[in-house]
Structures are given as structure tokens and as C-alpha cells.
Amino acid sequence: ARYTELKHGRVAMLAVVGYLVTYAGVRFPGAENIPCGFAALNEIPGMVWAQMLATQFVMEMANGRLTLDGKDFTGTQEFPGDFRNGFIDFGWNSQSDAWKEKKRAVELNNGRAAMMGILGLMVHEQIGNIGAVLPYGQ
């Protein structure tokens, strides 16, 4: 469904940024010794895994109970993936329908590009030439 593609695209956009930032050496306080990429999987403490899983669970439950078309059960979403819930608008409601469709298409296409981008970064890391792709990190 389109909602699933949109959600995966949003996660991929965050993943690409996170991969590039950690590869450049930026770390949260207390995580300075954790490497980037796949090497981090074995170094992440158990409580951090628990926090990540709990966050994912809460986010899925907060946006859960979706209908088959991806809309929330309250009916407040304008489209699948709309998480404003009538609270934060940032001027979205004051824009034309054509503008909204264009912005939604841009987000969807950027998400598709990010899905391919994170896949490419992970593949290059596994084949051992990530330094050739990202020469200014590590």
C-alpha cells in the first residue's frame, strides 16, 4: 500500500542521514566508542536495543489501528501518512490541492531515492569499499 511505501521512505531518509552523520564521526555523548555501520550492531548495549524497540512499539501503537487504506480510526487524516492529527499544521491547510499533491509526490520520490541510497551504502559497506564511496569519513 502507498502508506507502507511512505513509511519505509521516511525511515530510509532518516537512515541515510544517520549513516552519513555517524560515518563522519558524529556521536551522541556516551556513544563515542560505538563504530558506524554494521559494526555497531554488536556494540550497542542491550538497554539501547530495548529503548529502540520500545520507541518503535509506541510509534506503531500511536499510529496503529489503521484501516486497510492506511487512514487512522478517528478519520482526522487527510491522506495515509498524515500525522498532524489536527494539532500541528505548519500552513498545510492554507495551501492549494495542487501544491499538496506536489509536496506529497516530492516526499514519496525522496523516500524512494533514500531507500535505494541506504541499500547502496549497506551493500558497499559489506563488499568493503565504503571508503571509496565516502572518502571523507572515519
Give me the pLDDT at residue 63, please.
67
Q: How far apart are CA 82 and CA 77, in angstroms?
A: 5
How many angstroms separate the Cα of 63 from the Cα of each of 34, 74, 88, 134? 31, 11, 15, 36
**Alpha helices of 63-129 — where are they, by DSSP H?**
97-127
The residue that leads in pLDDT, 40 or 137, is: 40
Contact assessment for residue 118 and residue 19, using Cβ atoms and an 8 Å cutoff:
yes
Helices assigned H by DSSP within 24-96: 46-62
Quick: pLDDT tens for 11-26: 999 999 999 999 998 9
**pLDDT for residue 138 is more than 70:** no
Place of cell 571508503: 131
Cβ-count burial of 118 within 10 angstroms (0-12 exposed, 13-18 middle, 19+ buried)?
buried
pLDDT given at position 119? 97
Report pLDDT digits (tens) over 44-94: 999 999 999 999 887 777 666 555 555 566 667 777 777 776 677 788 888
Please state the pTM of the whole predicted model.
Answer: 0.83
